[in-house]
Structure 1
Amino acid sequence: MAERHEPPPAQVGDPVSSPYAAKPWLGLLSPAQRAPVTPPPTVLHAFREAVARAPERTALAYFDGRTPYAEADALSDSVAGHLAERGIGRGDRVAVMLQNTPHFVLAVLAAWKAGAVVVPLNPMYKAGEVGHILRDSGAAALVCDGRAWSAYLREAAGGTAVRTVLTASDLDFQTRDDPRVLDSATAPPAPADAGAPPPAAPHVGDLHAVARGGRPAPDDPQLTAADTALISYTSGTSGAPKGAMNPHGALTYNAVRQVTAHPLPEGAAYFALAPLFHITGMVCELAACFANAGTLVLAHRFDAGVVLDAFLEHRPAYTVGPATAFMALAARPEATRDHFASFQVISSGGAPLPPALVERLRGAFGFYLRNGYGLTECTAPCASVPAHLEAPVDQASGTLSVGLPGADTVVRILDEQGGEVPFGETGEIAVRGPQVVPGYWGLPADTARSFPDGELRTGDVGFMDPDGWLYVVDRKKDMINASGFKVWPREVEDVLYTHPAVREAAVVGVPDPYRGESVKAYVSLRPGARAEPAELSAYCAERIAAYKYPRQVEILPVLPKTTSGKILRRELRDRG
């Protein structure tokens, strides 16, 4: 039984009639986790404090390359100066479409130093997706991979407000002795694009050369906690992407709460397993690392073998990633306990975490994978498992808790009419707190619908127990109606994950002339394992009600996913 701490008195203004506003989870938080925090106004402030405290400490580690804090500060100053020369200033939008490389970090810092708003873009987006976001955000600048610019982004940027482009090469910053590193005293200005574009085309320069150009930073834009730091576009798995406006203060609040919830020594190494363009990577890796003056370890994009090598080389203390990434790491034959021995905290976010996977990883590799829950609209985490506790599993459903809300956060469970349901009953999860965004960029109607009175209606279905542990059941839209019975895919997936042959599982509803909908499961198998569809269907039938088990099972080599690791049920549903 977890030790309970005496909660502080109810805050002024908490409606005493609401059991959720009474925050029962406070009794399970440690004193440090309950204590008030005073985050810096922006991540840029946190970064500059780290520069002042430890200028020679490595800020960015990228393969064999090391960039100290003072150098990262100077490099991003020069990029900010370049952006200012090109007319980018306070409130302008700078789109950044890069993998986990030093370029990404320098571009983000530079945009904020120029007073701009960062629009992170998934490098897997195609031309149409990029064009939509560039037009919707009104981005004035784009930072991207040079090959992608030549291949399709030049066309995608046509007809948008983009007037300046910086391109990057994955090979930059990999070693300290990169022969292409330019001396800052003699570096030429950013070159014009060799394609000799017409006058109306964007000015194109090389980010590496610009960073080494020695330009001074522009005047301090005096950004505040209330200013927008990011316009983070939702993944689009449930419709057209919408831009959530993440304030600077929301980033730093969650970053500092990450540091207090998972206390690590100052200067610890944070491994960027989640992509930095995703809100989880931006907050829990980049922002939290700088708030702790740590070293951010980068490895381009996820490759299980490369990641395991990097674990041994850099010996990080913290990482966070989706369950699918840890499945891939565990499946590598060379993976051993030693690969994970340096970690003090390993967290999962961005995708459901099956209890069977947690125990499989603990048994094989000796670490406990901590669950967490958050959305782009609440700037990553709004619930997590504190360092001194383990998440309980609901005995009735077999669902693993995603954690406890923070001290300043109120999570409620609501019925269809927006009224609170009792503890233990299922409903829509709603979140209120300093990490919740004020709304969607340019979409007042969607903002009013999703944030009534400033409270985020998540569209996720879940419940909370009387101690404050939060459980996520599924997305409202993913519920399957089989002969009038509700089937939540997560419950079926969790059963499938207990089968020793199953590596990944996703459950969807498919049309059925008799039942209306029936349950279909898509699975991929662990390396070397064998299982037949009928065997997996029967396995589930022995463990859950007859209306829940999958009548159809299809085995695929891998399941389709977003870059953040979420399995794309929509794509599977479209397969039929």
Structure 2
Amino acid sequence: MISSPMLMGDGLRRNAWKFPLKIAAKDRYREINYAELNRRVNRLAHGLLSIGVQRGDGVALSVGNRIEHLEIIFASAKIGALAIPLDVKWKALELSSVVAALEPKFIILQEDCVAEFERARELRDLTWIKAISLSADLNYGGLLDGQGADEPDVAVDENDPFAVLLTSGTTGFPKGCLATQRTFVFHCINNAIEKGLGAHDKAILSSPIYFNAGRSFTLGIIYFGGTMILHERFDAEAVLQTIEREKVTYIGAVPVMCERMLHVLESKKYDTSSLRCLAITGGKVHPAVLEALQKNLTANIYRTYASTDSGQMAISKPWDAPSKANSAGRPVWCVDLRVVDENGAPVKIGETGEIICQSPLATHGYYKNPEATDSSFRNGWFYTGDLGHFDEEGYLYVSGRKKDMVKSGGISIYPLEIESVLYSHSAVLEAAVIGVPDPEWGEALKAVIVLKPGARSSAEALQDFCKTRLSAYKVPKSVDFVESLPRTEIGKVNKVKLREMFTMG
């Protein structure tokens, strides 16, 4: 019996034969078909081998939403090298810290990242890493020049490391999640099974490709033979224009991106009828926002509960009942989810505990960080740090992060429940609830609010609104109004910074 290993590079190779003239990807510089993309990937793979890249070596890339990013990822995959995508917005201190911790042997930088990397070299001894620029003496184009377009002759195994995927968490230094070739092929298959991703799709990526919110479906599009449109940064109107012009079928977004598209649609209309999948991840979509998206953008909304560490864990689909709008959906096809107590024992239906998972989509551990691996993995289960419960129909409800839980007067309070109520107020655009030190209660609830343009409200009005919908102990003790909430690169509210704003100085 002949078995075929699960390799990311094989998807591109097959598509070069099946769809040679089909456009694989577009960015603001160029477009490329599958035959040419595969040829360039093979030439780059040979070029990397020629400068000493070997199977298992780390190849970092500080390259944004560009075709070159795809070329580097797939070239590394074809020779068994380990791709390490970095944030192109990092400053020298961040860049030097991550590079020193992960120790790649090579780094490829887009033009505007070169100067920051040189400053990073002044902060730490990084003489051991070889830098390659998209335009420099040892340049990217030079790696391809004179190289053959045949498939590289390197024995790659499906259990070889494929990429180190950096978390976008808000708790400090990012962790590097190690994914094998097999793991990422499973990511592609999961998107096909759960969201119908395939060669028929034309998709947009406008969130950073080096974060989990966009990377999974982007590489899946190339793996299955669809067309990928890469926007370097998110601009709500530009995305809507592209959907209308290109007849886009698939778009991935985080909640704040959805809210900004809705804001544009309040004054302008675009034809978004081609969308068969709006895939939302990276946070809760509040029911009022979900209803507006269904009415004004598309009814074909898939909400995924996922993390860089675990991959997709649960999904809510367009045909799920409206009564389940607050749920994260049901577990995806290949994932076992449990909700457990502090001792790791399963809790009863309806009881809140920590969500844990076993999954072929999950990281194999944190790269060069055994302590973090040991703290998150126990007896084969990944402990997410999220709190939630299952209902009697198998739907998962996420209450929030364990670290975000507020302990006030000895009672555990989940901010997400209060935020959902605040989001339903007609004047509220954004809401975040945190705990702040309180001499009487230990912690007191504070709501931080961004009002809709032209809207007015007061702390007292919002507190009264909550009093009619929540128990007294869940009503925020204070309400502050701000112009914007601090967010991470992919749009999650950064509650660490938010707490610092109201507890320091």
Q: Shared topology, TM-score over 0.5?
A: yes
- 1:310 corresponding residue in structure 2: 242
2:363 maps to a residue whose letter is V
1:164 maps to a residue whose letter is K
From 220, 224, 228, the equivalent of 1:288 is 220
From 416, 424, 433, the equivalent of 1:498 is 424
1:144 maps to 2:109: yes
Preserved contact between residue 280 and residue 302 of structure 2 (Cα < 8 Å): yes
- 1:51 corresponding residue in structure 2: 16
Preserved contact between residue 39 and residue 252 of structure 1 (Cα < 8 Å): no
Structure 1 residue 561: Cα displacement: 1.0
Moved more, 453-462 or 302-311: 302-311
Q: 2:71 & 2:314 partners in 1: Cα distance?
A: 29
- 1:534 corresponding residue in structure 2: 460
Preserved contact between residue 79 and residue 211 of structure 1 (Cα < 8 Å): yes
1:326 maps to 2:258: yes
From 221, 226, 229, the equivalent of 1:297 is 229
Q: 1:373 & 1:39 partners in 2: Cα distance?
A: 31
Deviations 1:439-487 (A, max 9, x none): 1112223222211122101000011122221111100010011111211
Structure 1 residue 336: Cα displacement: 5.1
| Distance of aligned partners of 1:481 and 1:76 in 2 relative to their CA distance in 1, 3 Å threshold | same
1:153 maps to 2:102: no
Q: 1:398-417 to 2 correspondence within 5 Å? A: 400-417=326-343
From 127, 132, 135, the equivalent of 1:166 is 132
| Distance of aligned partners of 1:493 and 1:345 in 2 relative to their CA distance in 1, 3 Å threshold | same
Q: 1:553 & 1:47 partners in 2: Cα distance?
A: 52
2:38 maps to a residue whose letter is D
Q: 1:482 & 1:276 partners in 2: Cα distance?
A: 39
From 290, 312, 320, the equivalent of 1:381 is 312
Structure 1 residue 507: Cα displacement: 1.0
From 419, 425, 443, the equivalent of 2:351 is 425
Q: 1:79 & 1:416 partners in 2: Cα distance?
A: 50
- 1:251 corresponding residue in structure 2: 184
- 2:474 counterpart SS class: coil
Deviations 1:290-338 (A, max 9, x none): 2321001111111222222222222211112110110111112576563
Structure 1 residue 547: Cα displacement: 1.3
| Distance of aligned partners of 1:218 and 1:55 in 2 relative to their CA distance in 1, 3 Å threshold | closer
Preserved contact between residue 320 and residue 347 of structure 1 (Cα < 8 Å): yes
- 2:91 corresponding residue in structure 1: 126
Structure 1 residue 346: Cα displacement: 0.6
- 1:109 corresponding residue in structure 2: 74
Preserved contact between residue 253 and residue 434 of structure 1 (Cα < 8 Å): yes
1:330 maps to a residue whose letter is L
- 1:377 counterpart SS class: coil
**TM-score normalised by length of structure 2:** 0.93
Q: 2:364 & 2:456 partners in 1: Cα distance?
A: 49
Q: 2:411 & 2:166 partners in 1: Cα distance?
A: 34
- 1:332 counterpart SS class: helix
2:126 maps to a residue whose letter is T
Deviations 1:414-452 (A, max 9, x none): 000110001111100000021122211122232222111
1:155 maps to a residue whose letter is R
- 1:367 counterpart SS class: coil
2:219 maps to a residue whose letter is A
| Distance of aligned partners of 1:210 and 1:537 in 2 relative to their CA distance in 1, 3 Å threshold | farther
Preserved contact between residue 135 and residue 161 of structure 1 (Cα < 8 Å): no
Count of residues in Structure 1 that have an aligned counterpart in Structure 2: 498
Structure 1 residue 98: Cα displacement: 2.4
2:252 maps to a residue whose letter is V
**TM-score normalised by length of structure 1:** 0.82
1:354 maps to 2:319: no
Q: 2:322 & 2:39 partners in 1: Cα distance?
A: 43
Q: 1:87-236 to 2 correspondence within 5 Å? A: 87-150=52-115, 152-157=116-121, 158-160=124-126, 163-168=129-134, 191-192=136-137, 204-205=138-139, 207-208=140-141, 210-211=143-144, 214-216=147-149, 219-236=152-169
- 1:338 counterpart SS class: coil
- 1:277 corresponding residue in structure 2: 210
Deviations 1:370-390 (A, max 9, x none): 211111112x31211246435
| Distance of aligned partners of 1:135 and 1:339 in 2 relative to their CA distance in 1, 3 Å threshold | farther
| Distance of aligned partners of 1:213 and 1:495 in 2 relative to their CA distance in 1, 3 Å threshold | farther
Moved more, 504-513 or 336-345: 336-345
Q: 2:197 & 2:167 partners in 1: Cα distance?
A: 30
Deviations 1:547-570 (A, max 9, x none): 112222222222111112211011
Structure 1 residue 573: Cα displacement: 0.4
Q: 2:457 & 2:108 partners in 1: Cα distance?
A: 46
From 295, 317, 340, the equivalent of 1:363 is 295
From 362, 370, 383, the equivalent of 1:457 is 383
1:434 maps to 2:366: no
- 1:547 counterpart SS class: helix
Unaligned runs of 5+ in 2: none
Q: 1:477-556 to 2 correspondence within 5 Å? A: 477-556=403-482
Preserved contact between residue 40 and residue 46 of structure 1 (Cα < 8 Å): no
Preserved contact between residue 276 and residue 300 of structure 2 (Cα < 8 Å): no
- 2:386 counterpart SS class: strand
Structure 1 residue 91: Cα displacement: 0.6
1:160 maps to a residue whose letter is L
Deviations 1:107-129 (A, max 9, x none): 21122223211112122322222
Q: 1:105 & 1:392 partners in 2: Cα distance?
A: 40
Preserved contact between residue 95 and residue 143 of structure 1 (Cα < 8 Å): yes
2:359 maps to a residue whose letter is G
Unaligned runs of 5+ in 1: 1-37, 169-189, 193-203, 394-398
Structure 1 residue 516: Cα displacement: 1.2
- 1:508 counterpart SS class: strand
- 1:79 corresponding residue in structure 2: 44
